[in-house]
């Protein structure tokens, strides 16, 4: 449980925190930071470039300056080092796609009381697969996140003696690609929905790994998973499903492993009393809003699922990551 001193000021600050979030969302959606670039611009110049109302734009820019995302001097606005690094589209560390994914979630979150009352989702889907722009933001947002986390994870996960990794539900295969870059003798297969293949192939080409990373299209909820592997990676798969389907997915994943093969599960993991950490607990509500049965799982629940699938030597790999995501590993008997 998070140790927060709750008083009227803290309660109201938390209640109104969406104001800052929505201001950030608007600035990213309008691409303010790319418009400014490495120069200084007036509100008039920015407004004319992004085709917005001048007075409203000035208010937005002043709010961003107050938040520390822009620098205002002599009625001109410039990016901060942080906004240049993370919010300009030309930056390799751009996270605007994930911010826009958060923007698309806002409407569902305002109906949380309805979801709690009915126990049913109030959003069409968890990943907005039926909307091209929302789907791009979701996929690119996952890619942005993985690009930041993968370098941390590959240093703590030993695949030096593995030959073939299955990146199950891997989207663009960011993790599989990074594991291959870390381990020269490793090959990886990405298994995900066929609609993800063009995106995955572009990412594979970007890293020049076509000879070591391939893509197989399929639905792991409906179909058996082809191939045999000595390691399998499941990143942020379980939280989209209910317990029964999670057990089936883990069982299918384990069935592809050779004897002694390694399974790695990466997700937002709750403590065993289910009351923390904060982000996995909140993320469980996000899954309530957007899925029929998805939720965050406790470490003991994932451990029990792995044991039921015939996995031994189950342990948590210690990695310090944002939003309290974690990795649980084990070996097939």
246 with 285, same domain? yes
Assess whether 78 and 116 both reside in one domain. Answer: no
Residue 144 shares a structural domain with residue 202: yes
3 state SS of 259: strand
Q: What is the CATH number of the domain that holds 83?
A: 1.10.10.10
98 located within any domain: no
Average pLDDT over residues 309-322: 94
Residues 131 and 61 in one domain: no
- Find out whether the peptide bond into 277 is cis, omega within 30 degrees of 0: yes
Distances from the Cα of 104 to the Cαs of 11, 43, 109, in angstroms? Answer: 25, 27, 10
Would 101 be classed as within a structural domain? no
What's the domain range around 272?
A: 112-332
Query: Does residue 217 belong to any structural domain of this protein?
Result: yes
| Pair 173, 280 in one domain | yes
Total domains, the chain: 2
Q: Are residues 205 and 248 in the same domain?
A: yes
Residue 97: inside a domain, yes or no? no
Report yes or no on whether pTM surpasses 0.85: yes
Terminal Cα-to-Cα distance of the chain (whole angstroms): 36
Q: Is residue 262 part of a domain?
A: yes
Q: Which of 89, 122, 147 is the last residue of a domain?
A: 89
CA distance 264 to 157: 9
Residue pair 231/288 in contact (Cβ under 8 Å)? The answer is no
Q: Are residues 156 and 74 in the same domain?
A: no
Is there a domain that residue 94 lies in?
Answer: no
Q: Contact, 270 vs 276, CB < 8 A?
A: yes
Domain membership of residue 189 (yes or no) is yes
Q: In terms of domains, do 142 and 279 share one?
A: yes
Q: In what order do the strands lie in the sheet with 76-79?
A: 41-42, 76-79, 70-73
Question: Over 90: is that where the pLDDT of 211 sits?
Answer: yes
Co-location of 61 and 117 in the same domain: no
pLDDT greater than 70 at residue 3: no
- Smallest CA-to-CA distance from 101 within 176, 172, 24, 32 is with 24
Instruction: Answer whether 33's CB lies under 8 Å from 83's CB.
Output: yes
Cβ burial 56-65 (10 Å sphere, 16+ → b, else e): ebbebbebbb
Q: Are residues 41 and 148 in the same domain?
A: no
Domain boundary among 89, 104, 129: 89
What pLDDT is recorded for position 4? 76
Based on the fold, state whether residues 210 and 325 are members of the same structural domain.
yes
Summarised one tens digit per residue, pLDDT across range 223-270 is 999 999 999 999 999 999 999 999 999 999 999 999 999 999 999 999
pLDDT at residue number 332: 98
187 and 239 both lie in a single domain = yes
């Amino acid at each position: 449980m998070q140790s927060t001193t709750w008083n009227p000021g803290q309660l109201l600050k938390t209640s109104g925190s969406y104001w800052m979030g929505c201001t950030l969302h608007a600035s990213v959606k309008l691409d303010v930071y790319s418009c400014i670039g490495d120069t200084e611009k007036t509100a008039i110049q920015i407004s004319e470039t992004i085709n917005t109302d001048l007075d409203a734009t000035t208010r937005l820019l002043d709010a961003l300056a107050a938040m520390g995302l822009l620098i205002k001097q002599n009625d001109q606005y410039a990016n901060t080092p942080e906004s240049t690094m993370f919010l300009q589209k030309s930056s390799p560390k751009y996270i605007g796609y994930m911010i826009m994914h958060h923007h698309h979630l806002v409407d569902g979150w305002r109906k949380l009381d309805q979801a709690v009352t009915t126990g049913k989702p109030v959003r069409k889907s968890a990943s907005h697969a039926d909307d091209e722009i929302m789907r791009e933001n979701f996929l690119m947002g996952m890619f942005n996140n993985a690009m930041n986390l993968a370098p941390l994870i590959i240093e703590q996960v030993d695949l030096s003696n593995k030959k073939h990794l299955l990146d199950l539900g891997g989207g663009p295969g960011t993790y599989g690609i990074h594991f291959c870059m870390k381990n020269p003798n490793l090959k990886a297969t990405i298994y995900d929905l066929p609609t993800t293949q063009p995106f995955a192939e572009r990412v594979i080409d970007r890293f020049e790994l076509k000879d070591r990373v391939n893509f197989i299209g399929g639905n792991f909820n409906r179909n058996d998973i082809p191939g045999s592997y000595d390691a399998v990676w499941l990143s942020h798969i379980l939280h989209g499903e209910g317990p029964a389907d999670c057990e089936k997915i883990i069982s299918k994943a384990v069935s592809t492993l050779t004897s002694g093969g390694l399974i790695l599960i990466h997700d937002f993991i709750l403590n065993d009393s289910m009351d923390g950490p904060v982000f996995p607990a909140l993320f469980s509500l996000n899954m309530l809003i957007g899925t029929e049965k998805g939720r965050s799982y406790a470490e003991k629940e994932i451990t029990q699922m792995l044991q039921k699938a015939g996995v031994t030597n189950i342990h948590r790999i210690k990695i310090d990551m944002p939003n309290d995501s974690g990795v649980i590993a084990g070996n097939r008997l």
